Amino acid sequence: MSSALKVELGRRYRFSASHRLHTAHLSKEENNRVFGKCSNPYGHGHNYVLEVSLSGDVDPATGMIANLADLDAFVTDHVLEDFDHKSLNEDIPAFRDCVPTTENVCIEIFRRLKSFPKARLERIRVAETGKNSFEYAGDNPEGNRP
């Protein structure tokens, strides 16, 4: 990025998905103790809110750091089509051997979005309920562009 004016863009998306918090590394009793009712064998669902934050230089010709239509298409192709109205445990390969906690959902979504070519992904935030939200900014403090 140059020394031009840097702006951060935030965009919000929604998806609904089910999951079961359970791991084969724990007994049934331990899963129930750790995850409580979220370990229900039938799973449960949430209406998630995904917030994507990007940064970049403002293009002098367009006045934007990224075209929202490009971002929307990228998020739809890389996250929403796979996650919306799905079972995270059964339909998302990353969660076949990884408990789909919202912390892990954040990490997986960040991994999927970090290659957005028009701006740098700063962080993602996922709200699971009105009380619970989680944020992930990657593991590279110098920037997340591949």
Catalytic residues: 38, 85, 128
H or E stretch at 136: strand 133-136
**Token code pair at residue 32:** 């129930």
Residue listed under structure tokens 């998302």:
92
Return d(Cα 44, Cα 19) in angstroms, integer.
6
Q: Please tell me the distance from the alpha carbon of residue 144 to that of residue 27, in angstroms, as a whole number.
A: 38
Q: Is 7 buried (19+), middle (13-18) or exposed (0-12) by CB count in 10 A?
A: middle
- Reading the block at residue 137, the tokens are 């900014």
